[in-house]
Amino acid sequence: MSAAIISPPAQENALLLRSLKGSDGLARVDLDRFWADQEEAVADPFGDIPQVPLGIRMHGECVYAELGVAEDGGPPRGELVSAYNAKAVRLVGRPLLKAGGGKKSGVYPAVKKLHDVFEARNVWHSGSWWLEQSASNADELAALLDRVEQRDIRAFILPPDWEAAKQRLAGTGVKPPLYRGQRGPVTFAMSIYGVENLIFLILDKPALAARFRDTISRVMLDIARVLDEEAGYTPDTAPHGFSFCDDNSALLTPEMYEFFGYPILKAIWDRYSPNPGDRRFQHSDSAMGHLLPILGRLHLTGTNFGPTVTVREIRQHLPHAVIAGQLAPFTFMRNDEEGIVAEFLRDFAMAREARGLLFATAGSVNGGSRLRSLRLIMSLIQHHGRYDRL
């Protein structure tokens, strides 16, 4: 493409990209300084910090493209992780993946989860976990709710060997894991009942939809309470904070979301995140813009929304939220260097006055995302994302 037909912003980004490259083709970064500044910046993204903090975390699925090996359908083997980490040290100055290990002796047996209570199977399919439906019509849903409402949650979720494990580990200082994160209420409900089914249920049978909603909320609070008690906490001493991953929430209208999703989030956060600084985080890597006014009433302290939602929009409704985003995952996955430059400059311009940006993908980090692109982002942060030069 000739320079004459490149738009001025695109031409400027191309020139900036070239200015960042060294003779070896890699983006220029003072790695020691970057990681020292990163440690300070990530501790308080709203603070008096030197630069925008980096929030991208590479995943095992990135190993295959990076090393040029075929994906075998499972998590990368130990030798692949070691090779990837060695390359990461060379390119970005840190190993980025944890090596897998065998089963640890100092862990509690697995407890049943919310989907188990609602009789849904969690299956591994196409590289991810999927919940299978456990009800397909209103009569089946009502019968399912009858069974759920009769369950003793403590007896149901704790495995038979729980007490023995608890006694064995009591003297080690290892506490049972708490329940502080959940597939969000809309995604959960659509998973076990169906996407269209839930939408029509809210529209056509609001009483049953409300019962479904309230049962989800009650069971979540029961699970959290049981596990708090097993860890020795009281309501006054239990740690605060709760996170949701609710991609499907974008499929509801604001009115439908306020009816179904909002009350569950409010109930959980009223109990587990009552204070201004408590963690109230939602990941929804979808077009969430129409729900921002409702989420604003919940005072989120952390977001990871889809790439169509801008930093400016999020900040308008959520002034105190750390924004993990808003780099499009496909821009990073395709290693579109000029796109990475453009999206970083855009987001930094929107965030630099109020701060609170944790530069990350607006959604998942996908296979194909390369270390060279991560290094480019680090270079952009170091040279064009510094608050101490404003």
How sure is the predictor about 1, in pLDDT bands with cuts at 50, 70 and 90? very low
In the chain, % of residues over pLDDT 90: 83
pLDDT score, position 118: 98
Of the candidate ranges 66-70, 99-103, 265-269, 312-316, the one whose mean pLDDT is the lowest: 99-103
Domain boundaries, the chain: 1-98+301-390, 112-157+178-277
**Is residue 100 predicted with pLDDT exceeding 90?**
no
pLDDT score, position 102: 46
In angstroms, the CA 347 to CA 313 distance is 11
In the three-class reduction of DSSP (H, G, I as helix; E, B as strand; rest coil), residue 325 is classed as: strand
**Beta strands 242-245; 280-284: pairing state:** parallel
pLDDT score, position 27: 96
pLDDT score, position 241: 98
In the three-class reduction of DSSP (H, G, I as helix; E, B as strand; rest coil), residue 123 is classed as: strand
CATH architecture observed for domain 112-157+178-277: Alpha-Beta Barrel (3.20)
CA distances from 310 to 232, 292, 314, 362 (A): 42, 11, 6, 10
Q: What is the pLDDT of residues 268-316, one digit of tens each?
A: 999 999 999 999 999 998 999 999 999 999 999 999 999 999 999 999 9
pLDDT score, position 8: 60
In angstroms, the CA 276 to CA 112 distance is 31
CA distances from 48 to 37, 51, 303, 312, 343 (A): 12, 9, 21, 20, 23
Q: What is the pLDDT of residues 176-215, one digit of tens each?
A: 999 999 999 999 999 999 999 999 999 999 999 999 999 9
Cβ 238 vs Cβ 179: under 8 Å? no
pLDDT score, position 170: 78
219-248 exposure pattern, b = at least 16 Cβ within 10 A, e = fewer: bbbbbbbbbbebbeeeeeebeebbbbbbbb
**Mean pLDDT computed over every residue of the chain:** 93
- Token pair, residue 15, equals 């020139």
In angstroms, the CA 356 to CA 312 distance is 11
Give mean pLDDT, residues 337-360.
96
How sure is the predictor about 2, in pLDDT bands with cuts at 50, 70 and 90? very low
DSSP string, 224-273: HHHHHHHTT--TTTSPP-EEEE-GGGGGS-HHHHHHHHHHHHHHHHHHH-
pLDDT score, position 390: 65
Q: What is the pLDDT of residues 237-260, one digit of tens each?
A: 999 999 999 999 999 999 999 999
Q: Hey, which residues does 360 pair with through a beta bridge?
A: 326
Q: What is the pLDDT of residues 4-53, one digit of tens each?
A: 444 567 888 899 999 999 999 999 999 999 999 999 999 999 999 999 99
Q: Hey, which residues does 359 pair with through a beta bridge?
A: 54, 325
**Is residue 328 predicted with pLDDT exceeding 80?**
yes
**Is residue 356 predicted with pLDDT exceeding 50?**
yes
Decide: residue 6, CB within 10 A, 0-12 exposed, 13-18 middle, 19+ buried. middle
In the three-class reduction of DSSP (H, G, I as helix; E, B as strand; rest coil), residue 386 is classed as: strand
CB atoms within 10 A of CB 299: 15
74 phi/psi in degrees, rounded to 5: -135, -175
User: Considering the entire predicted model, what is its pTM?
Assistant: 0.91
* Cβ contacts of 44 within 8 Å, gap of 6 or more: none
Q: Where are the alpha helices (DSSP H) in 100-170?
A: 114-117, 138-149, 153-157, 162-169
Q: What is the pLDDT of residues 134-158, one digit of tens each?
A: 999 999 999 999 999 999 999 999 9
Phi-psi region of 295 (alpha: psi -120 to 50; beta: other; left: phi over 0): alpha
The secondary structure of 26-83, three-state, reads CECCCHHHHHHHHHHHHHCCCCCCCECCECCCCCHHHHHHHHCCCCCCCCCCHHHHHH
